[in-house]
Structure 1
Amino acid sequence: MIAQLEKPQNLQTDYERDGFIIVRNLFSVDEIQRLSEEIDAVRNQYTHLVDKRNMRCRWQDHYQTGECRFDAFDPIIDLSPLSKDLAYSPKMLEVLRAMYGEPACLFKDKIIFKMPGAKGYDMHQDWIAWERFPRSFCSVVVPLDEADEDNGCTIVYPGYHQNGSLSAEDGNYHPLPAGLIDESSAVPLVLNRGDIAVFSGFTPHKSLANKSDRPRRQFYFSYTRQSDGGELREQHYKDYHLWLIQKYREYGKLDTYFE
């Protein structure tokens, strides 16, 4: 039984048609508040991890000043026990089972802080043509703060996932060129605390700058079908770090590490 789902019988149909779903009030406000407090504690406890050489960290420019600022921990569940509980929550996994029609396996996990002023992300798809990157890859967005267009919520474009990869399948990340996606089809993922959204790795999406005075902290937990390789999270992070090391070397950065 899936608690608090809107039209639970349609999750698989809606996801296959649109490339995304939204589930309202899956988690309680109290659950999200406890997570929010733990993430604040993580930021305070692990300040030594915030280093441009640390492959756990992601960075984003300020949309006005261009200042490069810390933006994300990837992964996060090894730093935050409640985040790990959330990623493996029976409620979350039941939604994914209903959507996939089979069990789901955690593939990767991160939290993007997107503090006021943070620049958004260009239009892209999350799926990358790596040998062990499952085509069933999806991302689950769990907001710690209300997400709206003012603070740079994720914006998805329905239906395009049915065309698979829209860029070269060469193992690299590719922003999608202007004009490829019809902007009139945009769906901003406006989410309250307790809501989740799920979108396919082939669903084009982007986000705009956070022009508000509020953060837009969101977990991005990624999953795959169990039949698409089983438990692959550990192998994914090995592959991901090797890829990052190579990319950093191309820019002359040879002192990267993971902590």
Structure 2
Amino acid sequence: MFPEAVQVDVERYRKDGYLTAPAVISEGHLSALRAEADRLMALCYQERERYSRRIEWEVDHLSGENRKGMERVIRKLEPVSDLSPLFRDLAFSPQITEQVGAIFGEPVDLFEDKLNLKLPGGSPYPWHQDWVCCWRAHTDLLVTCFIYLDQADATNGCLQVIPGSHIGKPILPFRSGSRFEVDPAYVDTRQAVPVPLRAGEMIFFDPYLLHFSDLNRSSTPRRAIIFTYHPARLGKINEGRFPADFS
């Protein structure tokens, strides 16, 4: 199912705040993961009242001119590992956890998981820092693994990062009226680096790293499964991420 894991350039990760890695997922497994993403999207849409706390809708994040035809399109599902043995097995596969463990220098456990869909016409994710906008109640000893299920490039909204923006663990202010987006005055977009990757490839990044993804202007999806990990010695520190519909 998995090719051999690759070596991890930990020093480069510490310097840049992110690191890309070759695919550790076979083509057959990747096809199964795409089908599973479709299954979860259909399940949550069909039972949207039950799964309402897991669903984020595209229309809530698109400007008026981009909302047409997007009224029933799901942007994100979170969590999914409890609904999907296939994604849960992937989250705990040694070929991924050992690479994250190499960054920490110790064994890891799963902190959070989500499925970002970014279907054609899908909304941007503005410049933000994950820890600052989402996780202050927990540890900042976190590494996120972002695995593309489809080829990602500039046309369908691949991730963009600002290398080194994590250094010193800065807590940047939000744009007025937002609790998510960093104030543009603190983002030097001239330093932004797009990170296009093939399906199955990964990017690991620091919770303070500034990152962004644009509108999907293509006719193809840019689905990604996202796992965030913490040192296992901290215990189960984010079990409350599971919604009330968990069964």
- 2:181 maps to 175
Q: Give the secondary structure class of the aligned counterpart of 2:185.
A: coil
- 2:199 maps to 193
- 1:121 maps to 125
- 1:143 maps to 148
2:90 aligned residue (56, 66, 86)? 86
**Alpha-carbon distance between aligned partners in 2 of 1:4 and 1:33, rounded to the nearest angstrom:** 20
- TM-superposed deviation, 1:9: 5.1
Q: TM-score, normalised by structure 2?
A: 0.85
Aligned-residue CA RMSD (Å): 2.5
Instruction: Answer whether contact 2:113 2:225 (CA < 8 A) is retained.
Output: yes
Q: 1:210 to 1:179 in 2, by over 3 A?
A: same
- TM-superposed deviation, 1:53: 7.9
Instruction: Answer whether contact 2:121 2:217 (CA < 8 A) is retained.
Output: yes
- TM-superposed deviation, 1:78: 1.3
**Alpha-carbon distance between aligned partners in 2 of 1:209 and 1:175, rounded to the nearest angstrom:** 15
- TM-superposed deviation, 1:55: 1.1
| Residue correspondences, number | 234
- 1:203 maps to 209
Post-superposition Cα deviations, 1:68-99, rounded to whole Å, max 9, x if no partner, equal 54211100011111100111111001111111
- TM-superposed deviation, 1:133: 1.4
- TM-superposed deviation, 1:30: 1.7
Structure 1 window deviating more from structure 2 (157-166 vs 83-92): it is 157-166
- 2:19 maps to 21
- TM-superposed deviation, 1:34: 1.2
- 2:225 maps to 219
Q: 1:25 to 1:58 in 2, by over 3 A?
A: same
Q: Which amino acid aligns with 1:26?
A: V
Structure 1 window deviating more from structure 2 (108-117 vs 35-44): it is 35-44
Q: How does 1:6-85 map to 2 (within 5 A)?
A: 8=7, 10=9, 12-51=10-49, 54-61=52-59, 62=62, 64-66=65-67, 67-68=70-71, 69-85=73-89
Q: TM-score, normalised by structure 1?
A: 0.81
